Structure 1
């Protein structure tokens, strides 16, 4: 019923092919970290990985792949959402950035503890209402929720006991 392809030869893995694959990935899907791009190339060209690092070095040299630029853009995107600095670091680490790049990006954020307090307060109000939480179990649940979103314990604790009268 279906004919098998009997004449297909495996394609030759070359430097140009690996480089064009990496460029295609970037054009098609957007930026990647260098580590992620190398992992994808190693997965596809697992039979012969000798050209993968050279192709990646070419892209880095031409500033097509720039981890710091990509990490800064992701950091700005994450900071606009209601998540804290610890969650931002976690998400950047999952993308494959080095700890030096992550620390540089998070330290360059133009946010203060007051900004993080406001973001945490929005989270608390959205899930638990405007009133300060008195019930112990509900307070623990709220603390876990706010801390899981990347905020520090001190900010989470301030938010839990906050009332609108304290301004």
Structure 2
């Protein structure tokens, strides 16, 4: 009889502790949190957004982390632009694998920065964009500290390539 009481108590204990243990963050969750915390400390904003649907997409794109470098007041890109990494090389793409999304294009200064930075982009970077509020990198957060450093450096380079607020007419 005592054996059954022990078995029942162990079952109840497992039913109580099981869900609590499942709420613990995984190692990947902890790594993502650490990267996002470092990004926030460096002045970047992190949100989750979906890329625009491409003609080759069979389903709606998933949401992924977007690391954003806010522009100084009046110092962001003049118009909206977005470059999306394609799975195939084509002569009409920027540097082979980067396709412009929509009508907007980067300024010549931003384009110069992009040409310098795109070859260094880890495969986990899916897109880059700019708008009057700043610049963004759509990144799956794969690649660890090295990939984060490239994302951070790219956002800083794009910010530095932008015309300063004092040089814009207005």
TM range (shorter): under 0.3
Higher relative contact order (CA 8 A, sep 6+): 2
TM-score by length of 2: 0.22
Larger Rg, first or second structure (1 or 2): 1
TM-score by length of 1: 0.22
